[in-house]
Amino acid sequence: MPLREHLLELRRRLFLVACGLIVGAIVGWLLYEPLLLILRRPLDLASSAQGKDIALNFTALGSPLDIKVKVSLFLAVIVTCPWWLYQLWAFVTPGLTRTERRYAYGFLGAAVPLFAGGAALAWWVLPHAVDILATFVPDGTSQLVTAQDYLSFVMRLVLAFGLAFVSPVLIVGLNLAGALRHETLAKGWRWAVLIAFVFAAVMTPTPDALTMILVALPICVLYFGALGIATLHDRRADRRRVAAPA
């Protein structure tokens, strides 16, 4: 596909993603109050567990409206993940054969629960991180957490984990499209493991190594799973190529 057609296809896919996000943001706007209570829960748990005054703080006059918009967009990204993952997949793998496309749709179906699993893991890490960080608040003082900073932290954590869990599916998609061979993945497994642990160390602001390991291990397992699928696909494609008449 020529470069111009690639750019036009990218623009079309981004437009479709934006339309889906707008619909999701409308839903998020309507569900803002209960969603904000859910997002505040880690702070409330840390406050009650440690007997300290920890609460969200809206520092500017327009901050409540800004937070409502960001929370709505945050929910939109989560609830519309099947839609934008499909658009991403359709852009990455436009040249697959009919058989390979059916095979690829199976992996697309795996991307949604993987994204949800990554987001769930981030939500499991979040209360532990908040609780540990709250221990540094001196007794007799209050911690007013800026709503902007807290929401940005939560969104970055959830989205980063979700996308990290989806990345093996994209690796398989590139392999099916012929853009990435399994030999390349096999040679880079050490770098993949290192990146997984560095990612876990950066994204889990807790001092214990156990949490970092629990976060990094699933990412490593998913990478090696993608490597195994890519190996099977390449070997099958090589056998078909050898058996095909000249």
Q: Could you report the per-residue pLDDT of 114-151, keeping only the tens digit for each?
A: 888 888 888 888 888 888 878 887 877 778 888 888 88
Which is higher by pLDDT, 90 or 184? 184
CA distance 177 to 32: 41
Name residue, tokens 């007997």: 51
* Contact criterion met (CB below 8 Å) for 118 and 78: no
Q: Give per-residue pLDDT as tens, 99-114.
A: 656 665 776 778 888 8
What mean pLDDT comes out for the span 156-161? 84
Strands (E), the chain: 53-57, 142-146
Examine the pLDDT at 207 and tell me if it is beyond 70: no
Q: How many helices (H) and strands (E) does the chain have?
A: 9, 2
Query: Which of 100, 48, 50, 122 is closest to 233 using CA atoms?
Result: 100
* Contact criterion met (CB below 8 Å) for 126 and 42: yes
Q: What phi and psi values does residue 146 have, to the nearest 5 degrees?
A: -60, 125
Examine the pLDDT at 158 and tell me if it is beyond 90: no
pLDDT band at 180; cut points 50, 70, 90? confident
At residue 15, the pLDDT reads: 93
| Mean pLDDT (the chain, rounded) | 83
For residue 243, what are the contacts with CB-CB under 8 A and spacing of at least 6?
A: none
CA distance 207 to 172: 34
At residue 96, the pLDDT reads: 58
Residues of the chain above pLDDT 70, percent: 89
CA distance 229 to 150: 39
First to last CA, the chain: 26
At residue 140, the pLDDT reads: 76
At residue 206, the pLDDT reads: 64
Which is higher by pLDDT, 188 or 209? 188
CA distance 56 to 47: 11
Which is higher by pLDDT, 62 or 204? 62
Examine the pLDDT at 183 and tell me if it is beyond 60: yes
| Helix, strand or coil, per DSSP, at residue 146 | strand
Query: Which of 207, 201, 231, 235 is closest to 219 using CA atoms?
Result: 201
* Contact criterion met (CB below 8 Å) for 174 and 92: yes
Query: Which of 233, 235, 238 is closest to 106 using CA atoms?
Result: 233
At residue 47, the pLDDT reads: 84
Strands 142-146 and 53-57 come out as parallel
CA distance 219 to 216: 5
At residue 203, the pLDDT reads: 76
Hey, CA dihedral for 102, 104, 108, 111, is it positive or negative?
Answer: positive
Token pair belonging to 212 = 């970092």
At residue 245, the pLDDT reads: 67
Which is higher by pLDDT, 46 or 205? 46
